[in-house]
Chain A
Amino acid sequence: MKLISRIDELILVAIWKLGKDAYGMAVRDEIIRVTGVNWLLGAIYGPLARLHRRGLVTSVKGEPTPERGGRAKVYYELTPAGKTALKKIQEVSAVMWKGARKIEA
């Protein structure tokens, strides 16, 4: 199976960490909090749509609210395939780093 990209990884981890609260904006805020890089809000949806199509995440619709212009929040959670992919990339990272010298920055 092909490895997922770093951006996909970041998103999947964020969804995993957020649990029940993982909707688009929350995912972005989490990534910004961890990485410190200011992602534009629009940048999150392209990768989310891709993950959705590849079956790595599923979505659940919430209640529509007026401040969202009558649109529902959509919450994401990992599918089994998503979990497998995330686990795999985690393992690959760990294996890669094993035995490597520490980087002094």
Chain B
Amino acid sequence: MTNIPVTTKPPRLAAWLLGLLIDSVVRDQAIGDLEERFRVEARERGLFLARAWYGIQILPVLKSFIEDNVLWEGSMFKNYLKTGWRNIKRQKGYSIINIAGLALGMACAILIVFYVHHETSFDRFHKNADRISRVVVDVKLKQGGGVVPAAQMAFGPTLAKDYPEVEAVVRVQSQSKTLVKYADQSFYESGLLYADASIFDIFTFPLIAGDPKTALARANTVVLTERMAKKYFRGENPVGKFLRFNDEADFAITGVMKDVPSNTHLQFDILVSLETKFVRNLSLGQDWVNINMPTYVLFRDRRGPKEIEPKLVALVEERLGSLLKALGGKMKYSFQPLAKVHLFSHYTMDLAPNNGSIQYIYMFGAIALFIVGIACINFMNLATARSAKRAREIGLRKVIGASRRALFGQFLGEATTHSLLSLMVALILVRLALPFFKSISGIDLRLGASQIVWLVPLFFGLALFVSLVAGSYPAVFLSALHPVKTLKGSWKAGPGSARFRRVLVVAQFFIGIGLIIGTGVIRRQLDFMRNRNVGFSTEQVLVTRIDNPAIVPRIESVKARLKEIPGVVSAAMTMAVPGQSTEVNVQPFVPEGFSESEPMLLRQFSADADFVPTLGLEIVQGRNFSKENTTDADSAILINEASVRKLGWADPLGRKIKTPTAPIGTWKEKTVIGVIRDFHFLGLREMIEPFLLTYGTEEDQLIIKLKTENLRATIRELERAWKEIDPVRPLDFFFLDAFFDAQYRAEERLSSLFTAFSGLAVAIACLGLFGLASFMAEQKAKEIAIRKVLGASVRGVLARLSLEFLKLVALATLLAWPAAYFAMGAWLRNFAYRASLSPWMFLTAGVAALAIAFLAVGTQAFRAASINPVNSLKYE
């Protein structure tokens, strides 16, 4: 028998439960008795059994607690629901305001949750998502460098072969538009992706037909998505059939896969075996220089990336040591978790150009909370403002024996009734808003059985959240009323609750005005980006790819043929058009005055002599390329003003720049013949960078400038002419202005969402103000009547009533100004070129809020002020 020390305590959880649930009259002795007997048990049967014994002993306390409280509460709950429902019916106006406000708020919140869920679900559906990483290469050269989400062609296989931490590696590469032909039908497809056979081992892209192990193993094989299979083969089984690409090569279809879901950054329609590329170019697989293959790694476990990164330093040294030394640079491999690709990376050369941004996710999350908050405040304010009406009921309940806790439960219950009713309305609103939501957010929500699992808890969670937030203050406030005072009729809501209401109104309008200003700033920046002189003209410029290599040598005659069409102004061949960041090379150059061991990294692309006039670029010094001048193609170079500034040249014309040629380390000297005025090649998010333009004779895009008149006819003419030039491939083109503006799509979405949400926020806040004002008009009916009898004018009374609320809105405006100024200033810093914050935007937002608030309050005040005083006073 051991002695049990006093410090040995009964099981903590059980003791805590006992203390919580037992009747307070016997609490201390019960805990004491049990603890004493627990020691006896522990001594006789051991600590473990004693603990079990203790747990069992308290069961009856639990049981009687449930009987006494929950069952009783349950029957009272029915009564609460009943009174709650009666109140809703009796006060139809207020109930509509409450429910409409809450429903609008909830509908916004639900839509925003959909959006956030979609954005955060990117790439998480892959079974091995947590073990997959994307390779990111960080190159540092003495003059610049960059981070690229890709690796060299040879890197992937080396990783898979030599490093035990790695289970599998896949390299992918997107392909520009390709003409795909089967039997008599052909289409341009932009969703081609080259991939290693291992893609199916790493990602979860289930095959409907074909063997995932071998589908992409051989050269010239493809796997189609279901959508593509339907498009080309309708009912037939495509496996074993052939597709012809660009009218050159046949590809065997080895499998059909499920369509790629919208929530992945890897979007494609046709997978082509990467092996195909190696058959055509035997040395390609050994390439350790070009960093242009997006590479994904499946690790054996999650610690993989951490363990392998230090080992790769040696690999860089072995493979690239001498080259890096020659260039004076450094290179480092790192791994980015797959789930972070969509929201946490903005590389200029990414497979998915429109990655999301975690900043916007937080922003919308905050807006959802704000809007629900505004709606909850309406509920709180109206409930406490109307407390005088409920005071008798509360007093009576208390006299009959309702505890404060019971009353608290009742008012929370009422809030719950409201929020459940609102939820139903909100769901209908969401259903109606879905098409609109889809058009502005670009998300096609497919709500299926798998969503129900999280949707139903989400909806009820939202309703619960709203009822707790909206109901708790009224519950505390109303359940504290003193029964005798309320029944005597002498009770009036104290100044404290009125003050709190004012604070809440200010908070509502603070948020609303802040959102209006935010909307204004976003729109202004968008307009600024669209309308700013970017240094070239994108209008009426049509862009088409030259897929047929046979056209390139005779491009001058093609251009001449096109210019015969009356609507065509000019045509030019180029490597890149504005907005195509991925087409522009960053390469080392050695300008005059620099040494070959320290080259400068500059952006460069090439185009022919017609490029500058076709896009309307301005030459500020020197001259453009010339077709007549035969040395231009070989040795001329154009630079922009930013290059001149960076190089610090006072007289740029005639200066020499060494450009890289094969093999690496050898250079070719070119002469600067002209300077182009700075132009925003990459849009306004990016600073204007130094650019070099070389004369290109073998490029793959054609730009055609058209006249404004008869655009349709001109395009028909163009299509006809193109048929003569290339009988196989029909003309496939896009307009440069639309393409260039598409890079602002994220901002456009933000702008329309902000407009919608700020409008709603202000509408909900005004709804609440309207309710409060009408309540006040009702309460002050006698005061108003007496004032009028004593000679007050309608205008005077109107001003008096309105001012009370407008003061609050004005205060909210003053508070919202600095807050919006700082928040939107921070947002604008995302852009290299930004619109200024104009004071007018702030002023307009404030005046608009005041005007709307006056409309909401004024109607009520006017009605109150114009009532015949007799009607209000005749009952005294």
Contact = CB atoms under 8 A, between A and B. Distances in A.
Nearest to B31: A71
Contacts of B30: 24, 42, 45
A25 B38 CA distance: 12
Interface stretch (A10-18, A48-56, A85-93): A48-56
B776 interface: no
Interface string B2-16: 000010010000000
B31 A24 contact: no
Contacts of B28: 71-72, 74
24 contacts: A23-B29, A24-B26, A24-B29, A25-B33, A40-B56, A41-B57, A45-B22, A45-B26, A45-B30, A46-B60, A46-B64, A48-B26, A49-B22, A49-B23, A49-B25, A64-B32, A65-B36, A66-B6, A68-B35, A69-B31, A72-B28, A73-B32, A74-B26, A74-B28
Given A71-B28, A71-B32, A45 B37 contact: no
A43 B67 CA distance: 13
B172 interface: no
Nearest to A76: B29
Contacts of B36: 25, 65, 67-68
B29 A42 contact: no
Nearest to A64: B32
A49 B26 contact: yes
Contacts of A25: 33, 36-37
A40 B59 contact: yes
By size class, the interface of chain A is 20 to 34
Interface of B: 6, 9, 18, 22-23, 25-26, 28-37, 39, 56-62, 64
Interface of A: 23-25, 40-43, 45-46, 48-49, 52-53, 59, 64-69, 71-74
Given A25-B36, A41-B37, A66-B6, A74 B29 contact: yes
B33 A68 contact: yes
A24 B33 contact: yes
A74 B34 CA distance: 13
Contacts of A45: 22-23, 26, 29-30, 61
A72 B33 CA distance: 9
Nearest to A26: B33
B71 to A, nearest CB: 14
A-B pairs, top 10 by smallest CB distance, nearest first, are A71-B32, A43-B60, A49-B23, A68-B32, A74-B29, A41-B57, A46-B64, A42-B61, A42-B60, A45-B26
A79 to B, nearest CB: 15
Contact of A42 (B18, B35, B39): B18
A40 B29 contact: no
A42 B57 contact: yes
A72 B26 contact: no
A83 B18 CA distance: 31
Contact of A46 (B6, B32, B35, B61): B61
Most chain B Cβ neighbours within 10 Å, of A48, A52, A69:
A69
A59 B23 CA distance: 15
Nearest to B61: A42
A88 to B, nearest CB: 24
A35 to B, nearest CB: 16
A40 B23 contact: no
Contacts of B61: 42, 45-46
Given A42-B61, A68-B35, 10 more contacts: A24-B26, A40-B59, A40-B60, A42-B22, A45-B30, A53-B25, A64-B32, A71-B28, A71-B35, A72-B32
B58 A42 contact: yes
B23 A46 contact: yes
A69 B9 contact: yes
Contacts of B29: 23-24, 45, 59, 71-74
A41 B39 CA distance: 14
A42 B25 CA distance: 14
A64 B31 CA distance: 12
Given A40-B57, A46-B60, A46-B61, A69 B32 contact: yes
Contacts of B32: 64, 68-69, 71-73
Nearest to B67: A46
A50 to B, nearest CB: 8
Contacts of B26: 24, 45, 48-49, 52, 74
Contacts of B23: 45-46, 49
Contacts of B9: 69
B64 A67 contact: no
A95 B59 CA distance: 37
B59 A42 contact: yes
B269 to A, nearest CB: 68
A68 B37 CA distance: 9
Nearest to A50: B23
